[in-house]
Structures are given as C-alpha cells and as structure tokens.
Amino acid sequence: MKNYLDEAVESISESVRFDSSLTKHTSKMPFGKGAYDCLNHFLALAERLGFKTRNYDNYIGEVLFGEGAEEFAILCHLDVVPAGSGWTKDPFGGTVEDGKIWGRGTTDDKGPAVCCLYALKALKDEGFVPSKTVKLIVGCNEESGWACIEHYREVAHMPETGFSPDADFPVIYAEKGILQVRLHFPMERAPFLFLEGGTSANMVCDYCEATPRSVSVRMARQCGLEIVGKKIVSRGKSAHASTPAAGKDAILPILRYFREKSEAVNRAIECLYEDIYGLRTLRDETGHLTISPDIVKFRKGQLLIVADIRYPATMKVDKVYEKLNRFGAVYETIHHQAPLFLDKNGELVETLLSVYRDCTGKKDARPVAIGGGTYARALKCGAAFGPEAEGDPPVVHRADEFISIERVGLLLKCYKEAIARLTK
C-alpha cells in the first residue's frame, strides 16, 4: 500500500487547500465557490484513478465501483466548518510536516474521504469485483444543514446499507439526536451597544466581544476579559459541539460581565449554563444530554443564542422540548436530526468491528456511542467507522487540525478490508 499512501497524502493536502466552508451561494455553486471547487477536484481525481463519477448539480457527487444490483454506500463530506482562530499552521495550506498533514478537514472529513477513494483504487488494481455497486458519496453541506443529502434523495437512489468514515473507531453503533435551537431573550434596555460571538452552530465559540455602555475594569478582570478600546473581549478554545467540555466557551464570560445588569442575561445563564430545568440530567446508555451555546448576537432588542443539543439516542425529542418550554423564552428549531441506534450484534457492526480488531490487533475493542452526528443516519442501516481512535488528541473543529500519515496508512488498510468484506 506504500504507493497508495504517498498518493493519498498528496491528494489530502490538495483537497485541504480549498476553503470549503459554507459561503455565499449561486445557482451553480449552492454552497459557495470553495465547496464547488473541492467537489470537482475530488471527482476529477476519481476519474483519473479510473472510476466513473456523477455530479448532482454541485450539491453532492459520487464515485462508482462495481455493477451489482444491490448497492452499498460510503458516505463522506468535503465541506468544513470555518477555520476559527488560534492556528499556528495555515488552516488551508495542507502542509505536510512532522509526520502529519495540517489543515481544516484533514480529519473531518476530507482525509477519510480520500482514503476511501484510494481503498477502492487498491481493490480495483487487485482485480477485486464487488458483488454490489459501491457508491462513494461525497456531500458538501454536512456541517450546516444536509441540503446535499436532501438533494441526493431527490435526484438519485440512496443505498440502504453502508458506513461513514466520519467519527471514531472501533465502530459507532449509536449517535445521539441533534437539536439546534435559537432562543430569544427580550431586553428592554441592554447594558451594551453590541454583543456578538461564534461562527458555527456545531462549534464551541472561541471568540466573543461586546461594547458595554460603560466599562468596568474590575468586573472585566473578574470575568477574565480583555479590554480593547471600548470593547470587552473573551477568548476561548473551539471544539466540536458534541463534546463542549473539550473546548473553552467564550460566550459565558461575556454574559457573566452583564449578569447583574440584565435580567435577560441572568435568565440565559440560568437556563443554558446553570441548567435549572435539568436538561443535562436526561440520559441513557449512550450518555447524558449535552448543551453547547455556540452563537450569540444582540439584535433588535433581543439576545439571540443558538444552542446545540445532543440528546440520548433512545429518547424522543419531545422530552427535550418539554424542558425547553419551561425556559419561558421564545425559541425556534433551526435543525433537527433523529438519533441513530443499531443492533450491536448486527452484521454491519460485527463486520466493521472485526475489521478494526484484525487491522489493529485490538481484540478487546467494543462498539461505542457518540454525541456527534454523521451521514450514517441517512441510511436505513448505517454505521460510522473511524477515523479517530481512543487516546487521540482532539482535533475536530479545533485550531491546528491534523491527521497523521501513520493514521492515513491505517485508514487505507481498514477501509479497503471493510469494503471487501461487506461487498464480496
């Protein structure tokens, strides 16, 4: 696999150079120029490797391998969250250094997508003929709405079974439900002229700033804030919203500064941070509910906060709404995905688990549940499979995201074997 490894590293680096975060759309570029260019780069690469491809109106594309009547999906995405702050490397440089490829999307999810493509290439070169039609599907709107998947369902046929290389090893059997809401806290006379922070609903806010009507140096220091001219500034650390404890929220210190001056701010803190209505007490075998307030804005006399909620996989969303209704704040749902919950002993999970055990020698590995959401839940029977593993430093949705070249080698090995076993 050495030749494939070298080529995969170069192709991942090339893909990372496209800033494929969501930007202004056009009729030809539904998610912006970066996503458009990245998708067409990926499909052109697949064609050079000898595969037939399809581009569905620049929303989403697919690479085809085999001609079986039954279909098998590998669901990846090429879009990324915004770079955010705090990088020591160029987030869109694709730099290969210190045994790693650096940049936004290396792990989530361009690196794994490229690895799946080269796994197909390796199988093709060996003369492997799958009994199923393998569809390597690459979307461009996973991070901000799934419009790419909705479009695919309208214009193509989604397989029933497959995996998504967009989470963790050994294999994911359950994903929590995802609920993103925008809460409105009315303010009669705000103690600030401006307040804003956060760039993505599924990314812990790493920067927030406000312009108070009057600045208190003592209070700013007490809340851990910087004073920059007439502004107060809070700096945090980004992380995936499904694991908010792994980051450092920049919104709360700003809200604390104004807490004693505004009942609306106090109410927001009580509901979202102090959890006075017990949202975080909801739990099952897939873990506790988590809340991550990720975007805050002050607009037209209202404090608007977008919160990302990951609720237990065996629970109905109605239980979450019952708690939210007690906040006494108007809110609207801006995104919802039902949970995924598979049989741990089913063929798909068992096969992927055996592949991981055989490729790593970790015979005690067991299926796990996560708070993140992947394209796997777009399938009737879908599981997430890699690329991260227990003990890895957290890099997804963070500054200085990377994937090690060693991990790329493991992904090539795992994905090649998984495809072979599941489509033989």
Residues designated catalytic: 79, 142
- Please answer whether residues 187 and 227 qualify as being in contact, where contact means their C-beta atoms are separated by less than 8 angstroms: no
Query: Which residue, among 4, 10, 144, 138, has the nearest Cα to 74 in the 3D structure?
Result: 138
- Distance between CA 424 and CA 392 in Å, rounded? 32
3-state helix, strand, coil in the chain (%, to 5): 35, 30, 40
First-residue to last-residue Cα distance in the chain: 20
Residue 186: strand pairing partners: 302
Give the DSSP letter of residue 294.
Answer: E
CB of 296 closer than 8 Å to CB of 198: yes
| Residue given tokens 């085999």 in the structure block | 66
**β-sheet with 192-197: strand ranges across:** 226-228, 231-235, 207-212, 192-197, 290-299, 302-311, 177-186, 330-337
215-251 per-residue burial string, b: 16 or more CB within 10 A, e: under 16? beeebbeebebeeeeebbbbbbbbbbbbbbeebbbbb
Neighbours of 52 (CB within 10 A): 10
Of 337, 332, 345, 275, residue with least CA distance to 310: 337
